[in-house]
Chains A and B, each alone.
Chain A
Amino acid sequence: MFSQGFAFSFFSLHLNLSLICDSHQLEIMIQFEKFTLENGLRVVVHEDPATPMAVLNVMYDVGSKDEDPNKTGFAHLFEHLMFGGSVNIKDFETPLQMAGGENNAYTSNDVTNYYIQIPAENIETAFWLESDRMLSLAFSKKALDVQRKVVCEEFKEHYINKPYGDVWFRMREMAYKKHPYQWMTIGKELSHVENAQLEDVKNFFFRHYRPVNAILVVGGNVKTEQVKQLAEKWFGNIAAGEKYIRPDFSEPKQTTPRSMELKAKVPLDALYKCWHMDSRLEHGYYVADLITEVLGGGGSSRLYQSLVKEKQLFSNIECFHFGSVDNGLFTIEGKLVKGVQMDIAEKAVEDEIVRLTLEGINDKELTKIKNKTESAIAFEDMNLMARCNSLAFYELLGDAALFNSDREKYFSVTADDILQYSRTILDVNNSNTLRYYSEN
């Protein structure tokens, strides 16, 4: 519950458990059924009789990328307001707690997701609550006033009162010149959140929070017939709304290297490098995902072994990407050992990149990253909430069935794909470098 209203990307939490799999190892396929209500609400049912619980997950096809550049942070602020009472239900939390349920939500650059876990007997309570806030919110001035403050405190806690807290604001601005990924989910600046008006809130709601822009996933100890009946009863008569058509904001290809320097009262110098990579369903996405494992996945990864252990230039180094729907950022970040010069550390990172783009990876590394993926999937699949969440996300990408087929795409990745794609993205003209210097 602590992270309620916390602006993070669910998918980015799974970076080092990212998804890949050998198809011959993929024996367990997830079962689900799918139907669409008349108002356009897509419904996915995932039966799992082994658990006494049920999960109801509503994903809206709206994230911070859909914000007005002058009113950023809105999708996330809005997520907070979703807990401030709906048109018929003043208090969202109490009846849910009375039914033994828990809920939370998150906002990313791409999506906004709300989920409830509840004993399966009481699943109708989740339908009642979640459908009423899709019908309409209470739009209370008081809730807006309070949540503006709460979000400002969240902003301070995570980004102002933290060493290196400003890095991703600056990096996104540098890497994206057109695409709205150029701002953080929390917003560009505090004032955007502070100035949010009730009118903005209403417009945002009726533009994005409509059945036609939403996906409902119900999983756990439920039956498809029961979910059909409940979905019809509670969501069926909500006005469809208009499908939100996203403008084309695709990022133009970067053609020259970009870099910037920051200085702040932090104890250690740090280096951040980002390269543009393919979007979520393109082939390169899966390859990039595997490359992050080769370079940064654990104690036997290349960057850790070479730069932390052997050369001792970095005290820690990581390689990851953001799991973005549109073209994302392939990232290497690390903190330098005190006394090491930035140019020497950076050169050593570049040497590792050169090694990868010249030699590719060996068979043992390929087997390792595929084994890691197979087990990451198995562990992730143990969790009902994670399964429901992924089903919603895949349906948003186009089809819940991707849950099963998407994993197979990792299997088709070859060592040569890794070699070729590392050459494509890890090109200096595609790079964004942020050097963060300690003032101390």
Chain B
Amino acid sequence: MQTAEKRSMTERTKVPKIKLPVEFNVQLPPCTRYTLSNGVEVFAIDMGGEDTLMLNWVFYAGNWFEKKKMSASAANYLLKNGTSKLTAFGVNEHFEYYGSYLNRSCYNETAELTLHCLNKHVNELVPVVAEIITDSVFAEEELSIYKQNAQQRLKVSMQKCEFVAGQLIDAYLFGEDHPYGKYSRLEDYEALQRDEIVEFYKTYYQQGRCVIFAAGKLPADLPAQLEQYFGKLPLRPHTSTDLIVKHPVLPATEKKQHVTIDPQGVQSAIRIARPFPNRHHPDFQKAMVLNNVYGGFFGSRLMANIREEKGYTYGIYSYLMNHVDQSGWMISTEAGRDVTEATVNEIYKEMKLIREELIDEDELMVTRNYMIGTILGDLDGPFQVAARWKNLILNDLNESYFYQGIETIKKVTPRELQEIAEKYLNAEEFYELLVV
């Protein structure tokens, strides 16, 4: 026993030998690309051991394209609520009967339908997805239930300071009329009209720009199925340029804002953000590394200082916003009301420190390895790999961008990171919002 304990003492203070993740050769699993006869591209990731698959139809039907506020998200939500052959219940029952999940989501540029199912059921399900894309009816009754329930949900959300903060900071950064900055109000739902939603559906779904992602253990006849049900529809390739619109960014003039929704609130939502260029800008990938050191993960400076040292918050993070056209750099936390000001001061103090002092190579090495480890873990599984590919494709990038990113993580120098910090992490260029 004594020997055992002694042995353990000496070993336990010494870190076991590791292979540093930066020495790993990280590979993005390949993706097969094929084109349906109408020009719609399919990106397929065939991997995984389970008999499961994911099919994802991406349309350029986000709020970027709507003429009337909220019509893109309403159209997306109501896609599933009935065709001329099936009621809303019938559509839901069909997918649920086969144990599948058909989800829809609406973003800024794109709006999607995503099917998760067992391989053996896919041929029962794909035709109904096609029916939804070609023949949704948007019944008045369905719209009116949607309007009522969406407003009720919004009323509850509007009592949450982090929700309100999320809406307002986007509006400050991009302007309330910009797709990235506009947010829903009760009256916007009230004003929704069926014919506008139907019009949107015709233009952006029935004849919209579309791209399909498939992942999992893919059945051999999947290309034929997709061709049969989607290849002959009047859809257009996602790369077609005829529907491209531009929106001017009109940021707020006032940089600091305080909003009170509950005078008795015990916490404030803090959002501190600045505009940042998109992924095509040469600074983007370096900024990703800098962001990790600053506030991007549990071992970051913001977390170490503001949570683990001072206990002001349950969590604090910074991140680069996931937008295609233009990004933003955001710091986000909820902190006790009595320590709100102290938290904000520490956020700026950490900005100053990272601008003025070179990041120590040891600290940077931890970040590098952590980031590579995360990517390795993230590439484990077909759906995660598909998500990586999708991010590249929708941002008009290819796999060389992925490998550049890995190289940047491995090689970026403390001096280069300091240059990024000097260029972007200046307190006076940030919008600051506190919501209680």
For residue B312, which residues in chain A have a CB less than 8 angstroms away from its CB? 149, 153
How many chain A residues touch B (Cβ–Cβ < 8 Å)?
A: 86
Of B91, B145, B307, which one neighbours A312 at CB under 8 angstroms?
B145
**Can you name 16 A-B pairs with beta carbons within 8 Å?**
A98-B369, A119-B21, A119-B373, A122-B16, A124-B16, A146-B307, A146-B309, A149-B310, A150-B311, A161-B160, A163-B159, A237-B4, A300-B97, A308-B149, A315-B153, A384-B380
- Top 9 nearest A-B pairs (CB, nearest first) are A100-B373, A149-B311, A299-B92, A375-B99, A100-B21, A371-B99, A300-B93, A267-B155, A97-B370
Decide if A268 touches B299 in the complex (CB within 8 Å): no
In the assembled complex, the CB of B112 is this many whole angstroms from the nearest CB of chain A, namely: 17
Nearest chain B residue, comparing its CB with the CB of A270:
B156
Give the docked Cα–Cα distance between A117 and B427 (Å). Answer: 36
- In the complex, whether A352 has a CB less than 8 A from a CB of chain B is no
Q: CA of A308 to CA of B48 in the docked complex: distance in angstroms?
A: 38
Q: Known: A125-B18, A297-B96, A315-B153. Is A145-B311 also a contact (CB below 8 A)?
A: yes
Taking the nearest CB of chain A, how far is it from the CB of B135, in angstroms? Answer: 18
Bitwise interface map of B from 182 to 224 toward A, beta carbon under 8 Å scored 1, else 0: 0000000000000000000000000000000000000000000
Judge whether A125 and B97 touch: CB under 8 Å: no
Q: Which of A48-56, A67-75, A322-330 contacts B (4 or more CB under 8 A)?
A: A48-56
Residues of A within 8 A of B152 (CB): 267-268, 315, 335, 337-338
Q: Which residues of A contact B344 (CB under 8 A)?
A: none
- Whether, in the assembled complex, A257 has its beta carbon less than 8 Å from a beta carbon of chain B, the answer is no
Seen from chain A, the residues whose Cβ lies within 8 Å of a Cβ on chain B are 1-2, 4-6, 28, 50-53, 87-89, 93-95, 97-102, 117-119, 121-122, 124-125, 127-128, 131-132, 135, 145-154, 156-157, 160-164, 233, 236-237, 265-268, 297-300, 305, 308-309, 312, 315-316, 335, 337-338, 364, 367-368, 371-376, 378-379, 381-384
Q: Which of A125, A154, A368, A383 is the one whose CB lies under 8 Å from B15?
A: A125
Q: Among the interface residues B98, B100, B380, which one has the most CB atoms of the partner chain A within 10 A?
A: B380
Q: Which of B16, B80, B116, B369 contacts A97 (CB 8 A)?
A: B369
The reply to whether B52 and A378 contact each other, CB–CB distance below 8 Å, is yes
Which residues of chain B come closer than 8 Å to A100, judged between CB atoms?
20-21, 24, 369-370, 372-374, 376
Q: Does B51 contact A (CB under 8 A)?
A: yes
B265–A161 touching, CB < 8 Å: yes
Task: Tell me, rounded to whole Å, the shortest Cβ–Cβ distance linking B314 to chain A.
Answer: 4
Asked whether B52 lies within 8 Å of A379 as measured between CB atoms, the reply is yes
Return the contact of B376 from the options A52, A236, A316 (Cβ within 8 A). A52
Given contact pairs A156-B267, A161-B265, A268-B156, A99 touches B314 in the complex (Cβ within 8 A): no
Which residues does chain B contribute within 8 Å of A162, judged by CB atoms?
160
Cβ of B360: which chain A residues have Cβ within 8 Å of it? none
State whether A382 and B52 are in contact (beta carbons under 8 Å apart), knowing that A99-B18, A309-B89 are contacts in the complex: yes
Additional A-B contact list (19), CB under 8 Å, known A153-B313, A309-B89: A1-B298, A52-B380, A89-B12, A93-B299, A94-B366, A97-B297, A98-B18, A99-B21, A100-B376, A101-B373, A122-B19, A146-B310, A149-B311, A149-B336, A150-B311, A157-B334, A161-B161, A266-B156, A299-B96
Contact B96 A161 (CB under 8 A): no
With a cutoff of 8 Å between Cβ atoms, the chain A residues found around residue B13 in the complex are 88-89
Contact call B51/A316, Cβ cutoff below 8 A:
no
For window 39-54 of B, CB contacts with A under 8 Å fall at 48-52
A368 and B97 contacting across the interface, CB-CB below 8 Å: yes
B90-128 residues at the A interface, CB under 8 angstroms: 91-93, 96-100, 116-118, 121
B265 and A146 form a contact (CB under 8 A): no
A341 to B86, CA, bound (A): 32
The answer to whether B254 has its CB under 8 Å from any CB of chain A is no
Contact A309 B376 (CB under 8 A): no
Chain B neighbourhood of A298, CB < 8 A: 92, 96
Q: Does B365 contact A (CB under 8 A)?
A: yes
